[in-house]
């Protein structure tokens, strides 16, 4: 099973709202990722967690705040977003421990609209 789940599927929020995106995997993967994908573009890496610790932050604005409460869960907390933050947010995970563990498995994404 290579399933990564994400909730909610769709989210509409105002610029003053606070919301959270959730990602879950039960494959025992110890690396988890957040990506942002704008229309007709490839995904762009935002954050990487390795063994529940933030290892990469690709200069993402502080209005995006990631959290990894345990090895299966990854959250992305959103606050004071701008309309240009509207995008598809994808979560991915990778098996850090098995061989090269080179494959990232993606979830279905949360489509975010900021009004």
Partner 1 sequence: GNSVTQMEGPVTLSEEAFLTINCTYTATGYPSLFWYVQYPGEGLQLLLKATKADDKGSNKGFEATYRKETTSFHLEKGSVQVSDSAVYFCALTPQTGANNLFFGTGTRLTVIP
- Give me the residues that bind partner 1 (CB under 8 A), please: 2, 6, 31, 33, 40-43, 45, 48, 50, 55-56, 88, 90, 92, 94, 100-109, 111
Taking the complex as a whole, the smallest distance from the CB of residue 89 to partner 1 amounts, in Å, to: 10
d(CA 22, CA 25): 10
Quote the least distance from Cβ 54 to partner 1, whole Å: 12
Distance in Å from the first CA to the final CA of the chain:
37
Q: How far is C-alpha 76 from the chain's CA centre?
A: 6
Based on CB atoms, which residue is closest to partner 1, 16 or 59?
Answer: 59
User: Smallest gap, in angstroms, from Cβ of residue 80 to partner 1?
Assistant: 26
114 bridge partner residues? 13
User: How far apart, in whole angstroms, are the C-alpha atoms of residue 18 and residue 80?
Assistant: 7
Of the pair 27, 80, the CB lying nearest partner 1 is at: 27
In the complex, minimum distance from the CB of residue 16 to partner 1, in angstroms, rounded to a whole number: 28
- Give the 3-state secondary structure of residue 85: helix
Task: Choose between 78 and 93: whose C-beta lies nearer to partner 1.
Answer: 93
Contact 35, 45 (CB under 8 A): yes
């Amino acid at each position: 099973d290579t399933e990564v789940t994400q909730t909610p599927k769709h989210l509409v929020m105002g610029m003053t709202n606070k919301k959270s995106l959730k990602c879950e995997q039960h494959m025992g993967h110890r690396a988890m990722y957040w990506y942002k994908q704008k229309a007709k573009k490839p995904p762009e890496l935002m954050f990487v967690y390795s063994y529940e610790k933030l290892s990469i932050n690709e200069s993402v604005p502080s209005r995006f705040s990631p959290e990894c409460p345990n090895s299966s869960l990854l959250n992305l907390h959103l606050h004071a977003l701008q309309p240009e933050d509207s995008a598809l947010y994808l979560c991915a995970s990778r098996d850090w421990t098995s061989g090269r563990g080179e494959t990232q498995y993606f979830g279905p994404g949360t489509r975010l609209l900021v009004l």
